[in-house]
Structure 1
């Protein structure tokens, strides 16, 4: 039986203070997965910046490959560095390095080399002034195209990036080896599922894509 939801169900409560200001209740009810990756840049002091990211989509357009980042906070290092350098790298981790990637959430001081401090390896990009993460099986180097507020005076913006270079582990694009999908491939963010009838919370988790033929 389908149910209709126009306003926040009464049973859905904040799991932590400010949660429903940072995220929409619709996000938790729908729980639509999105690929997980780290966006890396250089801060103005030359230190590595790494932001674990989701809520994004990718599309080819007239020979170009475009990434739309759905939500970038105006108050974080990523927004600041993107506006300063106009470039970044998108780094896609596999399951075996995910725990190190989450450490970048804690190692996020302005004076921190966030990649190195999290146990990962920074390497130079080919076409942009931004660090790549060696352990990630796919690196997409990008230039900033534009940003747009979600609404007037919103806390976050949507950002468009254009790919300038791709580096990918050959065992990932060979589906007879590790491949791009399943437990060894792309990881997907599943953001704190909620049951709108009971308010039951399933903690943040991640998943993989299974191919149907």
Structure 2
């Protein structure tokens, strides 16, 4: 074993797929790329995500307490990275990138139908938002595209490196 720079630890622990997070505030929808998130409960489904104070979406998420987490397939990876490389402060990302939107059922931010799954979420705990940029979200409605038979998601490992889901294996588990 040899020492690893602490600035590279996140590259080992990155928990989940790269997703898109939509918010809406004062009649304007925004979208950001997000990869710092994790499941924290199964029923009801809850997840935690880090949206830093420097992100344009932070204020909207804190003020409105709702968002949509859209899960793109790997075919959208170049677009998702472009979305993450600019700020909603400067660019109307939905218009600039030609994103199709669809009204959500239980929250104001839009669904992104080009993604194979969309999760309508409400913030249930923001006590750590100011200190750690951490929001706990509860999924209140979930959507999938029935036309998509198999999906491959991608994961961010930092510095422009990504991995794509590959072969799946099945092992005995008590999880449903």
Aligned equivalent of 2:157, options 169, 185, 190: 190
Q: 1:47 aligns with which of 21, 28, 43?
A: 28
Deviation (angstroms), 1:116: 2.6
Write the distance in 1 (CA, Å) between the matches of 2:97 and 2:58. 21
After TM superposition, list the pairs within 5 Å mapping 1:137-156 onto structure 2: 137-149=116-128, 154=131, 156=132
Partner residue in 2 for 1:204: 161
Alignment of 1:5-154 (within 5 A): 5=3, 8=5, 24-28=7-11, 30=12, 32=14, 34-44=16-26, 46-61=27-42, 63-69=43-49, 71-110=50-89, 112-149=91-128, 154=131
How many Å separate the matches in 1 of 2:25 and 2:38?
25
Q: Partners in 2 of 1:133 and 1:59 — Cα distance?
A: 24
Q: Which runs of 5+ in 2 are unaligned?
A: 171-176
**1:169 to 2:145 alignment:** yes
Name the CA distance, whole Å, in 1 between partners of 2:67 and 2:88.
18
Structure 1: distance between partners of 2:14 and 2:127: 22
Residues 66 and 33 (structure 1), Cα distance of their counterparts in 2 relative to 1, 3 Å cut: closer
Please state how far the C-alpha of 1:33 moved relative to its aligned partner: 5.0
Find the structure with the greater CA-based Rg: 1
Distance change in 2, residues 1:142/1:33 (3 Å):
closer
Q: Deviations over 1:78-98 (max 9, x none)?
A: 110011211000001112222
Point out where structure 1 has 5 or more consecutive residues left out of the alignment: 10-23, 173-177, 193-202
Note closer, same or farther for the CA distance 1:204–1:40 as it changes in structure 2 (3 Å cut). same
Flag as ranges the 4+ runs of structure 1 deviating above 6 A: none
TM-score under structure 2 length normalisation: 0.82
Q: CA RMSD in A?
A: 2.5
Aligned length: 170
